[in-house]
Amino acid sequence: MTVDEHQMIEEIRSLVVVLAERQQQKQFYDIEEFARLVGREPFTCREWARNARIFAEKRSSGRGAYYQWVVSHAEFLRYQKEGLLPRRK
pTM exceeds 0.75 for this model:
no
Give the mean pLDDT of 33-49: 96
In this predicted model, which residue has the larger pLDDT, 15 or 81? 81
Give the mean pLDDT of 40-65: 92
**Which SS3 state, helix, strand or coil, does residue 39 take?**
coil
Sort 54 into a burial class: Cβ within 10 Å, 0-12 / 13-18 / 19+. buried
Residues 6+ apart with CB under 8 A from 36: 18, 21
Give the mean pLDDT of 30-54: 96
Residue 18's pLDDT band, with cuts at 50, 70 and 90, is: confident
Which pLDDT score is estimated for 85?
A: 96
Is pLDDT of 65 > 90? no
- Interatomic CA distance for residues 34 and 12, integer angstroms: 22
